[in-house]
Amino acid sequence: MTDRAPAPFSWARVHPDGRFVDGDRRLFDLATARRSVLVPSGGRHAWDSTPDRDLIWRIGPSGTHWLLEGFPDPGPVLTWTELQRTDAAHFLSVTGSTTMDGTVRDLAADFVEASGLADPLVILIDSTGDPTFAGGQSISHRALAAMERTRRNGAPMIIWEAFDERRMIIDPDWFAVARRDERFAPVGALLADGREGAYVAIPLAVGRRVIGVLSGIWTRSEQLDAARVVRWWTLADRLTLALRYSDANRRTRAHGAEAAWAKLRDDLHATVAQDVFVLSLEVARLTAGTGPVSPADMATTKTLTERLVSGIRAVIASPDEDTGDVGPAERLRELAEDVHFRSTAHVHFDREIDWDLLSSAFADDVVRIVAEAFRNALKHAHPTTITVSATLESSTRNLRLVVADDGRPPAATVPSGTGAGLDLLRRIIEERGGVLTLDVSSAGATLTVVVPAELKSEWAVAQQALDERSPEQSDTRQ
């Protein structure tokens, strides 16, 4: 297989150390002006262009030297209809999923159809070169962990070469090299199926800043010419815009949730004010009475007082300030300590996940769900024990969160599951595609939430699994 493009309008031969040998000096000067590294590593090919892509060039091995070839702008590579179809598919992908992994999975499927590249993988990389997210159409934790181990082994990773050099890198012999190079041993199982093809890595850029890489495998027999490369660049640009829109969309949802929670706090203030008024009326009634106060009257007053105290403490414990660097695990522990302080009830965490794997917005919602469950239990049931259980279902990737208490609320205060707080929780959970149920019996109440988990990224899960198996390698940087 070759990615040799036909009929270049200009060429120059380049020494392996990057020096000009012969040919078109102007093409060589233009290519070297764009970067400090001209010759890609190994037998790989690199494609680059001027900012407006009116001139495109390719450099690849040719005998003992490297051949630099220039091509004119191939013209429109996507019709207006194709662009509209691509953007419409991206819009549906972004708006149809609330998680980064789900969005990227859908975007990758769209990219396969439009580009012809198989097994696309999107990796977002920070300014230090460390991956912050990875996902694709069918990528697994096992595959991502193998890729991270390979990177730590110091293997020449085409993805990081494309990121560092800010240009498209194509390796027609990647599979053969990976099978021979021991540093690629972690991904050996992924190569056992005899797959062949050229590995392609395309930088994802926002303006002058590269934020990640889109990779895929070219398995077709057609030659890779300038028109196809520009088509991939164009599709990658559209995918980058979709990723940016997705990020903005999630931030908007998070801000909307903050507004909803602010309204809940306003409702809480109103509830406390109403409880104060009801309690004052009850005290006035008892004060005006002529006979002794009955046990029933005392029980009613006690219930109103406890409900008011619970509401006041909840108002005090509902800070507006940013939680900063405090993680979800610590925030849940603080909630548990507050429950014990307010009521002497003990909170027991039966089963827990690694809370740090959750995305920031999703973790915020989980903490709020638990806080509202605690508030309901203290307000209505006066429990002695509250149990929190959280599990990630491997088959569905759902988070199952259960908050159960052993309280026995008076009949008049049994929660109906339709209060302002629970209604808000149910609405937020339903927006995430989940379900909230509340079961109340004489033995206590159980609030159960089943919702698709939003993780920081599949890559984070894979990295953690790898670090847990090989802690001595966790700080190795290749």
pLDDT above 90 as % of the chain: 19
Evaluate if pTM is beyond 0.85. no
Q: What is the mean pLDDT of the chain?
A: 79
The dihedrals phi and psi of 449, each to the nearest 5 degrees, come to -120, 125
pLDDT at 477: 34
| Residues linked to residue 59 through DSSP beta bridges, in sequence order | 46, 68
The dihedrals phi and psi of 7, each to the nearest 5 degrees, come to 50, 60
Asked whether the predicted pLDDT for residue 180 surpasses 50, the reply is yes
Asked whether the predicted pLDDT for residue 320 surpasses 50, the reply is no
pLDDT above 70 as % of the chain: 75
pLDDT at 69: 93
pLDDT top residue among 437 and 353:
437
pLDDT at 259: 63
- pLDDT category, 471, cuts 50, 70, 90? very low
- What letters, b where the CB count within 10 A reaches 16 and e where it falls short, cover 318-328? beeeeeeeebb
Q: What is the mean pLDDT of residues 323-327?
A: 63
pLDDT at 204: 93
pLDDT top residue among 158 and 51:
158
- pLDDT category, 162, cuts 50, 70, 90? very high
Q: What is the mean pLDDT of residues 270-293?
A: 69
pLDDT at 322: 47
Q: What is the mean pLDDT of residues 358-362?
A: 81
pLDDT at 3: 44
pLDDT top residue among 56 and 262:
56
pLDDT at 43: 83
Q: What is the mean pLDDT of residues 131-145?
A: 76
